[in-house]
Amino acid sequence: MSLFVRFFVIIFALMVSILAAGLALAIGIMLPDYVTVTTDPIEHFAFFFVSFFTTGLVGAYAFLPALILIGIAEGVAIRSIFYYALGGAAIGLLAYFGTNMSVRLEETTDMPPVAFGLQLVAAAGIVAGFVYWLIAGRNAGRWKTSLGAV
The total domain count for the chain is: 1
| pTM for this prediction | 0.78
- Contact in structure between 23 and 59 (CB atoms under 8 Å): no
What size, in residues, is the chain? 150
- Give the structural domain span for 38: 3-147
Q: What is the pLDDT along the chain (150 residues), one digit of tens a residue?
A: 577 888 898 899 999 998 898 888 878 877 766 666 667 777 777 777 777 776 777 777 788 888 899 889 888 888 888 999 999 999 988 888 877 666 655 555 555 556 677 888 889 999 999 999 999 888 887 777 766 555
Residue 114's nearest CA partner among 24, 43, 25, 37 is 25
